[in-house]
Chains A and B, each alone.
Chain A
Amino acid sequence: QKEVEQDPGPLSVPEGAIVSLNCTYSNSAFQYFMWYRQYSRKGPELLMYTYSSGNKEDGRFTAQVDKSSKYISLFIRDSQPSDSATYLCAMSDNYGQNFVFGPGTRLSVLP
């Protein structure tokens, strides 16, 4: 079992839909959680980061962490074609030295 699992997709949704992206993990020591967006031929771009459990909202994006279930989610409201990208989750038990990344979910938002 990989340390971080993520459905690779592709996930196709119509414009305006609510998108749910998820990661599961096995290491209960993880306490820092991040979501990155990666466009084709570009580097990952930080979207959200959270510490421990709970929700965090930033514009159309909401990140949720459920440490009891070892499950994190990223919700995108009112999705746009410009949201079409690969979304990576990342987590760490010791911030700054050893983040573990999921393989990414490819999202396509259709106009």
Chain B
Amino acid sequence: DAGITQSPRHKVTETGTPVTLRCHQTENHRYMYWYRQDPGHGLRLIHYSYGVKDTDKGEVSDGYSVSRSKTEDFLLTLESATSSQTSVYFCAISEDSSYNSPLHFGNGTRLTVT
């Protein structure tokens, strides 16, 4: 699985609570991404990072924040979870932004907001 570990693998939380998902990589890749996957929508980019402390928003960033204090860790925080954030969250990494550096995904975190 390309040296990517996501934790937790499953999480059930209540509306209004903060939640943090963790992505850890052992590949020393520069780029890290958070996607969500929902039926009928495909994978949608939430945030990505192009280096330590360097992050940018994706297509569906509202309600989410990220942090990257070390190359190997990328955290996704739901500041106040809502039912619409029930989804499967995938972390991905790539070595750089070139054509020969494809995305590699972790196995996901299944989040349910009740």
Contact = CB atoms under 8 A, between A and B. Distances in A.
A4 B1 CA distance: 26
Interface residues of B, number: 29
Interface string B82-103: 0000000010001011110111
Interface stretch (A13-21, A76-84, A95-103): A95-103
Contacts of B94: 96
Given A45-B105, A46-B102, A49-B102, A96 B96 contact: yes
Interface of B: 1, 4, 31, 35, 39-45, 48, 56, 58-59, 90, 94, 96-99, 101-108
For the complex of A and B, the 10 pairs showing the least CB-CB separation, nearest first, are A96-B97, A43-B105, A101-B42, A101-B43, A103-B42, A43-B107, A44-B105, A46-B102, A43-B106, A102-B42
